Amino acid sequence: MLKKLASPAGAILLFTLIAAATAYFSTDTAVEKTASESPTAAFFATTLPDENGEPQALSQWQGKVVVLNFWATWCAPCREEMPELSELHTEYQDQNVVVLGVALDEIDAIKEFTTETPVSYPIFSAEDTGGVIAANLGNDKSALPYTVIIQSDGSIANTYFGRISKALLEETLVKIL
């Protein structure tokens, strides 16, 4: 009797595991194929919610120099660099440069953080997908903060692991502007 019950349950479990593995690997393969064509193509094809939960197509910044900063509200070095990123965004926005913050956090945590610590640049929530997006853009260490400078042609000018400064970012910006 136990064998009869175990057999259908085992078959259902096996089917569920195979379906889950197939879905997982087919999704990852699609992301990797897009990323291998151009690491930034997958980024610009993404839509993420802003701090108010409104979906934003990242393609709206295609053609600009993008200083893309991956961060989290619980990351002390991330929070420390935000005032300098705000200054950079304000000073360079007339030169076709935009700073974008992609938080690996829930929208509520981001909203609470930005209410207490306002920034001058757009912030997005990528709680579930941020790690994949960052990895496709070179973050092979899963480090935060992680910053990528994307040139107006979509190529990556530079990447930075860990806390950055405005002066460090300007070294790259001066070369590409």
Per domain, the residue ranges of the chain are 1-37, 39-176
State in Å, rounded, how far the first CA of the chain is from the last one.
75
46 touches 129 (CB < 8 A)? yes
Is the pTM of the predicted complex or chain greater than 0.75?
Answer: yes
Choosing among 3.40.30.10, 3.30.2270.10, 3.50.50.60, 4.10.490.10, the CATH entry for 39-176 is 3.40.30.10
pLDDT tens string 9-53 = 444 433 333 433 334 433 333 333 333 468 899 999 999 999 999
Active site residues: 75, 78
Q: Measuring CA to CA, which residue among 59, 82, 104, 43 is closest to residue 169?
A: 82
